[in-house]
């Protein structure tokens, strides 16, 4: 009998120890890095942009925070960094003001997005992506992460790294759908990555989860239709602007 009780105690300790390793609430800071030179190379007036390269850093960095617990996430702009006016013109980029609230219980998303001067309030279900999990492993912000690949807008390749040590279905922007928190997203056709710099433990306050309220109310399909019509005369730059909008 004593041996059985001892064995049960050992098993309980193992289970409790395993559970203690999971991170169930906190704040993640992502660095969003855009390769400005690569974006400039896709534009028509390459000669003019070549002259500007000496005045513009190759990469633009901005920061976003993701608050999370087991039932909700909130992605929003994070700390500001000092940048020159010229750098802001070319490096600021779109989607700088995106705020995305996700209710994991109802699988509903509310996202505030600004497309130039027009504000949209996207209300829809969580985005479904057909992720394919790969064998590659890397460490991000001290968490072991596994690679997964998927597509958005039918043809835009997306690479993600997620950790099941944070068993929350979330990630930057409106990306989710993997068995753990996404700590890195790369979209090669946007020359952009989102990488978690740090994960702060602790339960965010209820007052920090502010649900966006302002903007023209649309669902994802309606937003996509609106921006496609708005960018129809932008030539080869139109697809990239659409992809940025529907992130």
| Residue entry with tokens 């497309």 | 115
Cα–Cα distances in angstroms (integers) from residue 35 to residues 52, 92, 185, 204, 230, in the given order: 14, 11, 14, 33, 25
Which pLDDT score is estimated for 10? 39
Residues 6+ apart with CB under 8 A from 173: 75, 95, 98, 100, 185, 194, 247
pTM above 0.85, yes or no: yes
Q: Of all helices (H) and strands (E), which one includes residue 3?
A: helix 2-20
Contact indicator for 108, 123 with CB cutoff of 8 Å: yes
Which pLDDT score is estimated for 83? 62
Contact indicator for 152, 206 with CB cutoff of 8 Å: no
Which pLDDT score is estimated for 120? 95
Nearest to 105 by CA among 144, 53, 64, 70: 70
| Residue entry with tokens 């996202």 | 111
Contact indicator for 200, 211 with CB cutoff of 8 Å: no
Which pLDDT score is estimated for 5? 41
Per-10-residue mean pLDDT, the chain, length 247 = 43 38 93 88 69 78 96 95 58 79 97 90 95 97 97 94 97 96 97 96 94 94 89 82 86
Which of the 8 DSSP states describes residue 128?
A: P
Which pLDDT score is estimated for 17? 41
CA–CA gap between residue 165 and residue 168 (Å, rounded):
9
Which pLDDT score is estimated for 50? 72
Contact indicator for 79, 63 with CB cutoff of 8 Å: yes
Contact indicator for 53, 86 with CB cutoff of 8 Å: no
CA–CA gap between residue 151 and residue 127 (Å, rounded):
11
Handedness of CA 216, 220, 223, 225 (dihedral sign): negative
Cα–Cα distances in angstroms (integers) from residue 37 to residues 44, 60, 96, 175, in the given order: 13, 10, 19, 26
């Amino acid at each position: 009998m004593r041996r059985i009780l001892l064995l049960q105690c050992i098993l309980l300790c193992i289970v409790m120890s395993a559970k203690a390793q999971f991170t169930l609430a906190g704040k993640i800071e992502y660095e969003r890095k855009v390769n400005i030179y690569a974006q400039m190379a896709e534009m028509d007036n390459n000669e003019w942009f070549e002259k500007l390269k000496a005045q513009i850093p190759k990469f633009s960095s901005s920061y976003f925070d993701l608050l999370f617990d087991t039932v909700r996430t909130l992605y929003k702009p994070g700390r500001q960094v000092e940048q020159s006016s010229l750098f802001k013109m070319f490096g600021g980029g779109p989607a700088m003001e995106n705020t995305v609230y996700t209710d994991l219980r109802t699988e509903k998303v509310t996202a505030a997005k600004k497309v130039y001067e027009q504000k949209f309030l996207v209300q829809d279900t969580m985005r479904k992506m057909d992720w394919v999990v790969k064998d590659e492993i890397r460490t991000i912000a001290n968490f072991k992460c596994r690679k997964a690949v998927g597509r958005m807008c039918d043809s835009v390749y997306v690479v993600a790294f997620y950790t099941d040590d944070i068993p929350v279905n979330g990630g930057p922007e409106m990306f989710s759908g993997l068995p753990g928190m996404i700590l890195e997203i790369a979209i090669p056709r946007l020359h952009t990555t989102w990488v978690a710099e740090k994960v702060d433990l602790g339960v965010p306050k209820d007052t920090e989860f502010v649900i966006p309220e302002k903007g023209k109310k649309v669902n994802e399909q309606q937003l996509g239709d609106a921006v496609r019509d708005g960018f129809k005369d932008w030539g080869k730059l139109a697809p990239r602007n659409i992809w940025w909008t529907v992130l």
